[in-house]
Structures are given as C-alpha cells and as structure tokens.
Homo-oligomer: A and B are copies of this chain.
C-alpha cells in the first residue's frame, strides 16, 4: 500500500474517501499542475477533487461545494451525452 503523506489528504488506492475535511475554497490557477476528479465508488460516496500544485507536488482537496467545483463536476459527468 502506497501512502503519500500530505496535509488533509490521504492518497492510497481508493479504499475510503481521500478528503478528510471539506477542502480549500481557493487555489490560484497558476499554481496548479493537475486536477483529479474522483467519482463516487465503492470506497467513497462523494465526488472528490484533488489538486496537485506545481513545485513540490503538494496536493489539496478542493471544496466540492464551491461553484467552480460544482461546475467542473457537472462538466466532467457529461463525458458522453447529457
């Protein structure tokens, strides 16, 4: 099992929710290297958004209640058809 230690987020093969708290509301776009959208599954019933920052690759949970997160999730769910 690979655990990558990081503030407020446990990255492991999805055996449970990755975001242990609500997550941050604000992340400057230019600091972002990657955005992961984890859809609900056996391990976690929530859609979670994990942002990897440039540089050291720190990861943060994005509060999925923010309007940005809601819009991104809505868009991601439309991968095929409405």
Binding site for B on A (CB under 8 A): 13-14, 26-29, 32-39, 41, 54, 57, 68, 71-72, 75-81
B36:A79 contact, CB within 8 angstroms:
no
Interface centre among A27, A33, A57, A81 (most CB of B within 10 A): A33
A32:B36 contact, CB within 8 angstroms:
no
User: In the complex this chain forms, how many copies of it are found?
Assistant: 2
In whole angstroms, what is the CA distance A57 to B34 when docked?
A: 19
Q: Which residues of B contact A33 (CB under 8 A)?
A: 14, 38-39, 41
Q: Nearest residue in B to A78 (C-beta to C-beta)? A: B68
Q: Nearest residue in B to A37 (C-beta to C-beta)? A: B35
B35:A36 contact, CB within 8 angstroms:
yes
Q: Which residues of B contact A36 (CB under 8 A)?
A: 34-37
